[in-house]
A and B are shown apart, each in its own frame.
Chain A
């Protein structure tokens, strides 16, 4: 669950950006995985979206919620997609 404090650039899209009020922010997080980043930003911004329908990318590569995050990473949080 926990890791050491890391500086993460978190980018928000669509509904997440509206919840956060910003498109991106640099945060110091005690996060080991992408899921930790999601949960901590979710608490921070009061978002109720469950992660099950959302997607995550790390440094412009699609990732899994269990993917590890490193100091300096950019984590992109995608709410449920709806193209077409």
Chain B
């Protein structure tokens, strides 16, 4: 299950939804909004997502993780909109019979999510400036 939401993510509710009698454990990853990036003070973050393809690509990622690290249940939720420092931006949870699959599948899902899903992050800095993460850096690289 993959979801995009503008509402606060309820991690406990997500965790309960992973319940499976065959599960011997579960592993989760929480991505939080941090107050700095590349030495700049960050006040808040703004996330934008193209939901139809986040869902379609996200389902592929979960299916790939299942094939590599057979788990029992997996869920992933990503926030959109304006988030404050400390807010939960993304939650990934995996339940499996043994811990190895849960750790590895969870890692696979968050890594692929960051690389592949059409989600963008704009940082609003303490100095009043703002910028899209990864974009300006690529542009600078292109000009060299």
Q: Which residues of A contact B (CB under 8 A)?
A: 13-15, 48-50, 52-53, 55, 57, 60, 62, 76, 78-84
Which residues of the other chain, A, contact B81 by a CB distance below 8 angstroms?
none
Q: Is the CB of A49 within 8 A of B133?
A: no
Q: Which residues of B contact A (CB under 8 A)?
A: 31, 47-50, 52-53, 56-57, 78, 89-90, 110, 113-122, 132-135, 138-139, 141-143
Across the interface, A55 reaches (CB within 8 A) one of B56, B118, B135, namely: B118
Q: Is the CB of B142 within 8 A of A48?
A: yes
Residue of B110, B121, B143 ringed by the most chain A CB atoms within 10 A:
B121
B51 smallest CB distance to A (angstroms) = 11
CA A14 to CA B47, docked complex, whole Å: 9
A71 smallest CB distance to B (angstroms) = 22
Q: Is the CB of A78 within 8 A of B135?
A: no
Q: Is the CB of B53 within 8 A of A62?
A: yes
Given contacts A82-B119, A84-B110, contact A15 B135 (CB under 8 A): yes
Given contacts A55-B118, A57-B53, A79-B132, contact A84 B138 (CB under 8 A): no
Q: Is the CB of B57 within 8 A of A62?
A: yes
Q: Is the CB of B50 within 8 A of A76?
A: yes
Q: Is the CB of A81 within 8 A of B52?
A: no
Q: Is the CB of B90 within 8 A of A83?
A: yes
14 contacts between A and B (CB under 8 A): A13-B48, A14-B132, A49-B135, A50-B141, A62-B53, A62-B56, A78-B118, A81-B115, A81-B117, A83-B49, A83-B113, A83-B119, A84-B78, A84-B119
CA A55 to CA B135, docked complex, whole Å: 12
CA A73 to CA B141, docked complex, whole Å: 31
Chain B residue at minimal CB-CB distance from A60: B52
Which residues of the other chain, B, contact A62 by a CB distance below 8 angstroms?
53, 56-57
A12 smallest CB distance to B (angstroms) = 11
